[in-house]
Copies of this chain bind each other. A is one copy, B any other.
Amino acid sequence: MIRDLSALFDPRSVAVVGASNVPGKWGYLLAEGALRGEERRSVYLVNRRGGEILGRSAYGSLAELPQAPELVVISVPADGLEDAVAESLAAGAKALVAISAGLGEMGDEGRCREQAIVARVRAAGAVLVGPNCLGVYDAEAGLELCSEDLVPGSIGLISQSGNLALEVGLVADEFGLGFSRFVSLGNQADIEAWELVESFAAHGPTKLIAIYLEDFRDGRAFARACASAGKPVVLLAGGATEAAARAARSHTGALASDLSAIRAAAVAAGIELVSSPKEVVDLAQALLTGRRPHGKRIALAADGGGHTVVASDLAAAAGLELPQLSEATRARLAEALPPTATLNNPVDFAGGGEQDISSFAKVARALLESGEVDTVLFTGYFGGYAHYSEEFRRREVESAEGMAEAAADTGLPLLAHTMYWRSPPAAMLRAKGVPVFREVEAAVWVAGRLSEETPEALRRVPDIPQPAEPLVAEADYFGAREILGSAGAPFGQARRVESLKEALVAAADLGYPVVLKALGRLHKSDSGGVAVGLSSPEEMSEEFTRMAGALAPPSFSVEAMAPLSQGLELIVGAKRDPRFGPVLLVGAGGLYAEIVKDVAVALAPVTEAGAEALLRSLRVAPLLDGARGRPPVDVGATARAAAALSRVAAEHPEIAEIEINPLLALPNGALGLDARIVLR
């Protein structure tokens, strides 16, 4: 359901409840901000004590207003929030912003009070931001109902932390970026992040959505809103680690989402995940140009070899490729540079900039038009020539313009790092759509990030299917095998046995060598509950007796021996995240699994194509195609098993965790060697 949020961002009238005449107080800041929009809308300041505030006579209550306030900002102590909300609704408010802290973030009692408030708001057809928030801002609508001092621009900011939003604002300002809208989320009692993403997506002046979020609420809805936003979404997700989760719980009552679920959502929805305010701004700079590379080839250029060397080292570490340049391109560079210059990639001007400052524009154009690279990055000494003289300054700014024009003409991303990132030439680059970075590592990081491409098959936010008939009880090993097997994940032959006699019969039946497993333990192999390669009745007897004595399991499984040395051991599993729903995980298995931590995640259910793309995104992917004299494995069959598991997970909300571990990918087919289901 899409609700109308226009009263929130561009109300015809606004009231500030708790307006104050004391500078520094919240009620003062809000009143002051509201009055800055007075030309556009009626502004009413409300204070129980009446009197005069900022030169206007204040109203004693909302009931006294001459017209209905479309938007009411409430800055009263928590005790008074219910009354203020009731009065607002009675006065005809369509949108409320509750600054008041001390409710949901304090515990269960506060949460109940919040829910009651929300019920009233919704019954009245209104919407509420907060409580425990810092307000809202809309540049175009001249709405400044928050404590942040934001500069107008094209970033829409949604934040669950006031101070982080403030920092993003300060950093953005240093790079010449500003804000179209800002909403401080607070406790998200009514309006949640996903709803704002939808609203910002439809908001013309907002070209990019930046979000700080700890509590995702309906994670699928959030992912869906981001996927269909039609503009870049940069997400700083807080509280995805255990220590951070401790902080998150105590911060705004957020239950931290697991990072892997957030990653899965980011892949599905094309969300750019970052980890600091600086990264928000660095990436926003580049995304706002609208230019993305179509590959990992980068050309680096600088007037000074040291800078090309440092940038090359960083680019290589970021997985970017520095192709050698063709004779034709080198010839073109030679025209623009002195004979001592390096015409290879990276290009070193060797003082050429000082000799002819227009060489920056010429080199940029030669590289961008070469067709040999996907991104061009300038680093080091640029913008500094402007210090030499007025004439140098003028020509350096002109050269900057030429660089930007070359980028615009080719549509390729041109990035710049310069030591003089606040200089007039740097400002010209920015003005003409070339992001300018303060540190070379920031520029290279952005270049690497822009070059990452998510496979088409994974760029979708799947719907969660209707729940299937629930599993009646904790599925044991054989239950898990059966459920997964009938969904399409193949397992080898196995017999459940309880006595040595049964075990010997089963083994003879399956043919030695066999595997014996003690059932009923979570980590069978760690506790000595798995014996592989038993090649005779004697070995079977010995192992059975040992396990029975040491582990006393309720039952055993006797299984055909899998051709381990021919295959690749993988892990395929899914867990149900409280916010994002079922998430599929595939990863490297075997002895090194926990060392390598080579995993990839996706929102479940996943198609076969999606599962294959996921497998191919693993670091062990080269081994899928055969390596070190081994034949390639059957990736299709492996992907089918993973997709099947993801469907089971998606159809059974009662499954907390499900896994096939190991799943043996073989040259022909794939074979589950163990399975596990944990119900909630």
A residues engaging B (CB < 8 A)? 24, 102, 106, 159-164, 166-167, 170, 212, 214, 236, 238-244, 246-248, 250-252, 275-279, 302-310, 312-317, 322, 340, 342, 344-346, 348, 380-381, 388, 419, 438-441, 525-528, 530, 588, 591-592, 594-596, 598, 619-620, 622-623, 627-629
Q: Which residues of B contact A252 (CB under 8 A)?
A: 305
Question: Are A276 and B306 interface neighbours, CB within 8 A?
Answer: no
Report the Cα distance A248→B278, complex, angstroms. 31
Given contacts A162-B304, A163-B306, A275-B441, 12 further A-B contacts (CB under 8 A): A24-B388, A161-B306, A164-B304, A164-B307, A167-B380, A244-B310, A244-B316, A247-B344, A247-B346, A250-B344, A251-B306, A275-B314
CA distance A314 to B212 in the complex (A): 15
Out of B212, B313, B440, B528, name the residue touching A306 (CB < 8 Å): B212
- Asked if residues B161 and A250 are in contact (CB atoms below 8 Å), the reply is no
Taking CB as reference atom, which chain B residue is nearest A316? B241
Q: Is the pair B246, A344 in contact by a Cβ cutoff of 8 Å? A: yes
Question: Taking CB as reference atom, which chain B residue is nearest A630?
Answer: B591
A/B interface sample: 16 pairs, CB < 8 A: A161-B309, A163-B303, A164-B304, A170-B419, A238-B306, A238-B310, A243-B346, A244-B309, A244-B316, A247-B308, A247-B344, A276-B440, A276-B441, A278-B438, A588-B595, A595-B596
Q: Name the distance in Å between A518's Cβ and chain B's nearest Cβ.
A: 12
Nearest 10 Cβ contacts at the A-B interface? A161-B306, A251-B305, A163-B304, A244-B312, A238-B309, A164-B306, A241-B316, A243-B322, A250-B342, A278-B439
Which of B243, B441, B594 is in CB contact (< 8 Å) with A312? B243
Residue numbers in B under 8 Å from A247 (CB-CB): 305, 308-309, 312, 342, 344, 346, 348
Query: How many angstroms between the C-alpha atoms of A214 and B252 in the bound complex?
Result: 50
Partner of A315, one of B106, B214, B243: B243
Complex CA gap A345/B313 in Å reads 37
Could you say which residues of chain B place their CB within 8 Å of the CB of A528?
629
A526 touches B628 (CB 8 A): yes
User: Which of chain B's residues has its CB closest to A306's CB?
Assistant: B161
How far, in whole Å, are A381 and B252 apart by their CA atoms in the complex? 18
Does the CB pair B623–A242 fall under 8 Å? no
- Write out the residue numbers on chain B whose beta carbons fall within 8 Å of the beta carbon of A344: 246-247, 250
| A313 in contact with B275 given A247-B308, A629-B528 (CB within 8 Å) | yes
Q: How far is the CA of A248 from the CA of B309 in the complex (A)?
A: 6
Q: How far apart are the CA atoms of A388 and B526 in the complex, in Å?
A: 60
The answer to whether B305 and A161 touch across the interface, beta carbons within 8 angstroms, is yes
Q: Which among A160, A276, A305, A627 has the highest number of chain B CB atoms within 10 Å?
A: A305
Q: Which of B159, B309, B623 is A595 in contact with, Cβ under 8 Å?
A: B623
**A340 contacts which chain B residues (CB < 8 A)?**
102, 106
- State how many angstroms separate the Cβ of A235 from the closest Cβ of chain B: 12
The answer to whether A598 touches B598, judged by C-beta atoms less than 8 angstroms apart, is no
Least CB separation from A380: chain B residue: B163
Contact B629 A313 (CB under 8 A): no
Interface centre among A242, A308, A309 (most CB of B within 10 A): A309
Contact check, A312 vs B167: say whether CB atoms are below 8 A apart.
no
A391 to chain B, nearest CB (A): 12
Which residues of B lie under 8 Å from residue A527 when comparing CB positions? 629
**Which of A102, A251, A596: most chain B Cβ within 10 A?**
A251
Chain B residue contacts of A308, Cβ below 8 A: 244, 247, 251
Which of B309, B438, B439, B619 is in CB contact (< 8 Å) with A214?
A: B309
| Residues in chain B near residue A305, CB distance under 8 A | 161, 247-248, 250-252
Known interface pairs A251-B348, A629-B525, A629-B526; A622-B595 also in contact (CB < 8 Å): yes
Contact assessment for B313 and A238 in the assembled complex, using a CB-CB cutoff below 8 Å:
yes
- Give the distance in Å from the alpha carbon of A419 to the alpha carbon of B165 in the complex: 11
A544 to B317, CA, bound (A): 44
Q: Find the B residue at minimum CB distance from A354.
A: B24
CB distance from A588 to the nearest CB of B (A): 7
